[in-house]
Chains A and B, each alone.
Chain A
Amino acid sequence: MDSFGSLIDGFGTALTPTNLAFALLGVLLGTAIGVLPGIGPAMAVALLLPLTRGLDVTTALIMFAGIYYGGMYGGSTTSILLNTPGESASVVTAIEGNKMARSGRAAQALATAAIGSFVAGTIATLLLALVAPLVADLAVEVSPADMFAIMVLAFIAVTSVLGSSRVRGLASLGLGLTIGLIGIDATSGQQRLTFGIAEIADGIDVVVAAVGLFAVGEALWTAAHLRRRPVQVIPVGNPRMSRSDWRRSWKPWLRGTAIGFPFGAVPAGGAEVPTFLSYVTEKRLSKHPEEFGTGAIEGVAGPEATNNASAAGGLVPLLTLGIPVTATAAVLLAAIESYGIQPGPQLFEDEPELVWGLIASLFIGNAALLVLNLPLAPLWARLLRIPRTYLYAGILFFASLGAYAANANVFDLFLLLVIGALGFMMRRYGLPLLPAIVGLILGPFAEAELRQALQISNGDLGGLIDPMSVVVYAIVALVLLFPLVRRVLPAKAHVPVLDEAVHELEEAHHHHGTTDAVSVERRPSREDPRDDG
């Protein structure tokens, strides 16, 4: 097992003064941008993408690693102090975290989140370093037909988040796939959906698409419904924890890591389900179940650790298969590709310095996060008071700047506005953004794999079927038919923890109204006629 040696080499790469500086800068920027209300980690990465142009690949990726973790930590700070999470994965943190903050325990909530993120991130990154090379070895054997099946699974998984409307998820996926189709078809050289416009012959720049959907869409949507009252931000001192806080936190951190990593690592994961599972688990195991709902520290420690562990786990399919499972990972994939690097099984062989440098810098970023965030928490809290007029004006300003700088083309600015309008519409009608962004980034690769598979089989559709892809398609069918399956199952067969998680998820959606629509699917009741199955 030479992972260990490779990792040491990786630290050699990551610890050069330049790379170290960029890792720290990434963490700092990622946290600062992520903490801003309305900006989730995915938007933070998309907005900061242009800043890495002109950097050397390895350095740029190392900076992204910092932004990735920093953005996520920033997001949870926002949800603890404001109770309105910018990202679905932080919904759970907000439940207990904000209650803690309101009862004067903001410092403890932030501390258990920061230290939990560090513990979970470090363990999960270690697991990543161990698991990823093995998966990459296996994945080299994977045929195009299997890759296509796995990508189909990823598409279906991101559209079928528990407790959200499936039709709207599929609608979003369709929109993303359509945007991904635009441009010259690589295999035949034919223009598709370009309508003779030269600027989109090469396809729509992913930076423009991501910034449009996330940043411009968000700014326009928020502007249409801007809360005019001043926001209440809970004042916070330096995060600290008492002995009993430590005692109550360490087990949830470890359990959260155990729940989060595997969920992130399967190409059907995402962070929402595991964070809810962790919440429910902690609630069941807690010695103070009565505190849940009024600010239990376990309810922050567990889900935050889970969130970070699943983020690290999400890098397994991203680096070894090139498959993103969260919006942030999708943007990260686009960033890696913009350097002409195709994440996939070959990556560990072809670019060992880059991969291991990236993994090593995840450790560094994680440590930097802890060192920076404990003392800087009061400063981050002050960022939450930024006047909203400047915040959203600034988002539009930097979105335009980034989109223009990408290709120095005015056309991209108009395109940005059109995609922003699409993002507005999606937010208005509860179409989740994640399927669109995954469809748009992954769609072209899925098509390439499909066509390659059919080329091998000489057009015979049977070429798509082999033992592995059958298993994957079976999982796809199960995910698609889950509501029906659940209805047929006797009530006893329901996994109680999962059921409770679904319930909590829907409750939280109902209160917060995050990205995913909750309109149609509810807990199955036989009388319910409004099921879109």
Chain B
Amino acid sequence: MTTASSGGTTREQGRSEYGVALFLAALGLLVIVQALLIPESRIVRGPVGPAAVPLVVGGLLVVVGIALGVDVRRGGRGEPEGGEDVELTGGSDWRTVGMLAAAFVANALLIEPLGWVFSGAILFWGSAFALGSRHYVRDAVIAFTLSIGSFYLFALGLGIVLPPGVLRGIL
């Protein structure tokens, strides 16, 4: 049952699966090293210090990384997750993912200087664009309705003030 056949690119996925195994093992080593670097505490209570559990978890990750590598070598493949809107034939659409990440980062960078109303609208509009919507005006109207609406919902309903940014004093 090489379930990856639904993903189309079995051999390529086989190789990148080793990457996952490597990632797990490397993360495990990192956790172990960090645990060993924890300095002696002056306020230790109880015989088990702060390093014990990280050592176990790190060890688990290393072992699992190796086991996963063995599993992949024997032909085991992780099955990509399906879903309502997911079509697993063909490879990943990295362009869309990249544009979404860009819209996401834009919001993170702009939320404080420009304010949520604009950054949130940019996030929504940009994401819709990335996903293939070409109704530029309609998307913008929806984006601003959502960002202004959520601003007031949070401010009035929940008492949480999102950054007003350049609209300080206007909203």
Closest to B147 in A: A397
Inter-chain contact A165/B78, CB cutoff 8 Å: yes
| B contact patch SS | helix
Which listed residue (A171, A447, A513) contacts B79, Cβ 8 A?
A513
- Give, as a whole number of angstroms, the nearest-CB distance from B89 to chain A: 9
Q: Are A452 and B46 in contact (CB under 8 A)?
A: yes
Within 8 A of B (CB), among A355-374: none
Decide: A454 and B46 in contact? CB cutoff 8 A: yes
- Asked if A174 and B84 make an inter-chain contact with CB atoms under 8 angstroms apart, the answer reads no
Known: A84-B82, A518-B3. A451 touches B48 (CB 8 A): yes
B-facing mask of A387-404, CB < 8 A → 1, else 0?
A: 111111110111011001
CA distance A447 to B3 in the complex (A): 37
Known: A192-B38, A394-B146, A529-B74. A219 touches B100 (CB 8 A): yes
| Contact A389 B64, beta carbon cutoff 8 Å | no
Chain A residues lying within 8 Å of B53, measured Cβ to Cβ, are 181, 447, 450-451
User: Assuming A86-B83, A396-B104, A396-B123, is B133 touching A390 (CB within 8 A)?
Assistant: yes
For A228, give its contact among B61, B132, B142, B162 (CB under 8 Å): B132
The answer on a CB contact under 8 Å between B71 and A231 is: no
Query: Beta-carbon contacts of A157-185 to B below 8 Å, as 1s and 0s?
Result: 00000000101101101110110010001
In this complex, the interface size class of chain A, counting residues with CB under 8 Å from chain B, is 35 or more
**For residue A484, which residues in chain B have a CB less than 8 angstroms away from its CB?**
none
- A400-B107, A455-B47, A530-B76 are known contacts. Are A223 and B24 too (CB-CB below 8 A)? no
> How many angstroms between the C-alpha atoms of A170 and B24 in the bound complex?
11
Chain B: CB-nearest residue to A173? B60
Please provide the chain A residues from 190 to 228 with a CB less than 8 Å away from any CB of chain B in the complex.
190, 192-193, 216, 218-228
B59 and chain A: residue at smallest CB distance: A174
Residues of A in contact with B (beta carbons under 8 Å apart):
37-38, 50-51, 53-54, 78, 82, 84, 86, 165, 167-168, 170-171, 173-175, 177-178, 181, 185, 187-190, 192-193, 216, 218-228, 231, 387-394, 396-398, 400-401, 404-405, 408, 410, 413-414, 417, 424-425, 427-431, 443, 447, 450-452, 454-455, 458-459, 509-510, 512-515, 517-520, 522, 529-530, 532
Chain B positions within 8 Å of A, measured between CB atoms, are: 1, 3-4, 6, 16-17, 20, 23-24, 27-28, 31, 34-35, 38-39, 41, 43-50, 52-54, 57-58, 60-61, 64-65, 67-68, 70-71, 74-88, 90, 92-94, 96-97, 100-101, 103-105, 107-109, 111-112, 116, 120, 123-125, 127-128, 130-133, 142, 146-147, 150, 154, 157-160, 162
